[in-house]
């Protein structure tokens, strides 16, 4: 089956490999930062700012073309997004004016 962009459907095993590889990298990076305060102790605004910083680092990695650095920064972005998704973070983003 094709998608609207003309690409063919990927095998599920390929999707699983990509997700598993990223997940292992995420866990490795989380464990390396285990001494830091738990994300449930900071605000969503702080986490969101960190997410944007990680996206900027990812942009730099993409520009460099270094695949290992790109994969590491993707894990950092995914970890920040996961922390934001965790319901234990109770503070809301400030209202936009």
How confident is the model over 24-38, as a mean pLDDT? 92
Signed CA dihedral, 69, 52, 46, 81: sign only:
negative
What is the count of structural domains for the chain? 1
**Residue 12 binned pLDDT confidence (cut-offs 50, 70, 90):** confident
45 occurs within a structural domain: yes
Asked if residue 4 is part of any domain, the answer here is: no
User: pTM score > 0.75 for this model?
Assistant: yes
Does residue 24 lie within any of the structural domains? yes
For residue 59, being part of any structural domain is answered with yes
Relative orientation angle of helices 12-32 and 67-85, to the nearest 10 degrees: 80
Q: Which domain holds residue 32?
A: 12-85
| 38 assigned to some structural domain | yes
Query: Which tops the pLDDT comparison, 32 or 36?
Result: 32
The H or E element containing residue 26 is helix 12-32
Q: Is residue 44 part of a domain?
A: yes
Residue 6 lies in a domain: no
CATH of the domain at 42: 1.10.287
């Amino acid at each position: 089956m094709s998608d609207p962009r003309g690409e063919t459907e990927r095998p599920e095993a390929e999707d699983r490999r990509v997700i598993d590889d990223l997940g292992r990298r995420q866990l490795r990076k989380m464990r390396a930062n285990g001494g830091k305060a738990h994300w449930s102790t900071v605000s969503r605004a702080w986490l969101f700012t960190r997410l944007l910083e990680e996206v900027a680092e990812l942009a730099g990695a993409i520009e460099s073309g270094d695949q290992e650095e790109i994969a590491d920064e993707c894990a950092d972005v995914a970890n920040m997004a996961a922390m934001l998704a965790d319901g234990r973070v109770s503070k809301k983003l400030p209202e936009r004016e």
